[in-house]
Structure formats: C-alpha cells, structure tokens
Amino acid sequence: MSNRLTQLLGIKYPIIQGGMAWTSDATLAAAVSNAGCAGIIGSGGRTTEWVAEEIAKAKSLTDKPFGINLMLMAPNVQEIVDLVCKEKIAFVTLGAGNPVPFIPQLHEAGVKAIPVVPNVKLADRIEAAGADAMVIEGMEAGGHIGKQTTMALMTNILAKKYKIPVLVAGGISDGRGIAAALLMGGDGVQMGSAFLLTTECPAHENAKAAIVAASDTDSMVTGFSRGHAVRCLSNKFTALYSEKEVAGVPTSELDKLATGTNKLGIKEGDTENGTVMVGQSLNVLNEVVSCQQLVDKLIAQAKTTLAEASKIEL
C-alpha cells in the first residue's frame, strides 16, 4: 500500500520494527527492511562504538531505509545523535526523554525524527516542533510503558487529524491489529514483540521459547507505583520485584535489583531471574519464522481483515 508513512520513509508496507534493547541489531533491522518494512537498530544501553559498527553492518546487508532508536536518557545520546547525522540514517525514533531539542540537528542532516508519545499533550508539542511523524504507544506494549491503553490513545489522538503520520504501537502482534490501527485512522504501526520471534532476531532461544509458551495472562507490569512501569513475562524475578515494590522498599533497592536483568533474560536466556520484555498480545505469538515469512503473514492477515470489514453493514 501507499500512504503518507510509506511515502515518508520510502518503504513498501506501513510497519516499523521496535527498537528493542539487546535484540534490535543490524541483522534484524536489515532483514525487516529487506522484507519491505523499516528496521531499527536499538541504541539503548549500547556504546557509541557498537552503534557505529551496527550501522556499517546494516548498510552492508541492505540498501533499504533503516532507522536508529534513541533512548534520550542515555548518557551518550548526543554522541549517537552526532553519529546518526554523520551517517545520514533515514530516520530515528526517540523515547524516554524530551525529543524536541534534537529535532533541528536531525533535520539539518536530513534525518527524519519520529518521537514516541504517550498522550495528546506531547503529540501536540512534537508536531509543533516539526517532528516528521509520531508513534503513539499504549501500555499493552512490552518494556517501558505509559499509563494509557492503545485503544484510548487511538481514540483520543487519531481524532485530531494531525498533519504528520501517526503510527500505532502497543499490543499489536498480528495483521488484525495492523488493520485495526488503519481503520481507526492510523498511518501504520510499530511492532516489537512479533519480531522477537524471528530467526534473524538475536534473542536467546530460551526467551523465544518462553514467549511461544506464554498465554494472555502471562505478562505483568513492575514498577508502576514508582513511575517506572515495565511489562515483561511473569517469572521468579517479577514476583520478587513486585513483593518488594508492594512492601515499600526504597526505589534505589528496586533499581539495583533490576539492573542487568534485561540482558540476563532476553540475551543470555535466564528466563526466571532475568526479564523477557514482551507485549500483552501473547497468544498469537506462537512460532519462530523468518522476517520475510512474518511480514508476508502480517500483510495477508491485514488485507483479509480489511476486506471483511468492508462487508459489514450497519
């Protein structure tokens, strides 16, 4: 399909891959881009040197557009922004901080800026600041989440008819979710969890198996009471963290407990003591396939859902 998102990024399908920490590397990003979507290299928790190496690798694996996810709270974020501008990356997604100060530098280098926003107020602000598009992400997503659901965000934000493309994220794990976002007025979607279950994703096989085995009630949110909500699979670690959170232990102790658990779970495969950050729509995440196979399936599902919707009479 062709719409203002696909035209903006020069992609075939209105799907971008989430910039997931420890798993969104050059191999995954290039495979997603080669499949007709927009892949993303996640820079969260990474050194500037690692990001530079992954950019070079991605450029060797694809001639299609790909992006970089910027975690704005990272101590080396300015270094990575400088790198992105030097390398003329097609676009960046920006989260976990204020994206506005970075937009002018990105635009000067010809890099498109796509902030992730959790509410109408920030959506208004980033459009006024000149963002090229936005991602609205509901709390059904994996990893760090906001306070509103995807449906509420779509209802409130898409009704405003922004002049820039709006992508929908959070709990979208199959083609039906893509169709729903488009029917609500979205220009496309950002998907993370579905791409964890691809052969090109470097997530540990234990983590992939845990996601395949999980059902709808097997994710939980930790840290919500402290303003640092994170969704991941329920396990020994989340039970311990929640017990301490409810007991009122200091946030510093909780932070110490959680440090390193993302890498431990998703990258090293300790799915009981580490975290596997994944979204809430788990029952359709039931097989590991290639990125091309996944995208083909997603688009076929979306087309079928949209065709069926056109037959509904009220």
Listed by start position, the domains of the chain span 4-201
Q: Is the pLDDT of residue 227 over 90?
A: no
% of the chain at pLDDT higher than 70: 100
The winner for highest mean pLDDT among 24-28, 42-46, 222-226, 251-255 is: 24-28
What CATH number should be reported for the domain whose range is 4-201?
Answer: 3.20.20.70
pLDDT 10s digits, 166-190: 999 999 999 999 999 999 999 999 9
pLDDT recorded at residue 1: 78
CA distance 144 to 223: 10
Q: What is the pTM of this model?
A: 0.93
pLDDT 10s digits, 152-169: 999 999 999 999 999 999
Type of residue numbered 66: F
Local confidence band at 210 (pLDDT 50, 70, 90 cut-offs): very high
Mean pLDDT score, 266-287: 96
Which of the residue ranges 14-18, 54-58, 71-75, 126-130 would you say has the lowest mean pLDDT?
71-75
Q: Is the pLDDT of residue 253 over 90?
A: yes
Type of residue numbered 123: A
Q: Is the pLDDT of residue 4 over 90?
A: yes
Local confidence band at 97 (pLDDT 50, 70, 90 cut-offs): confident
Q: Is the pLDDT of residue 284 over 90?
A: yes
Mean pLDDT score, 261-285: 96
Which of the residue ranges 3-12, 92-101, 165-174 would you say has the lowest mean pLDDT?
92-101
pLDDT 10s digits, 231-249: 999 999 999 999 999 999 9
Q: Is the pLDDT of residue 313 over 90?
A: no
Q: Is the pLDDT of residue 22 over 90?
A: yes
Q: Is the pLDDT of residue 314 over 90?
A: no
Write down the residue that tokens 């359709």 correspond to.
Answer: 284
Mean pLDDT score, 128-147: 95
Q: Is the pLDDT of residue 226 over 90?
A: no
pLDDT 10s digits, 29-45: 999 999 999 999 999 88
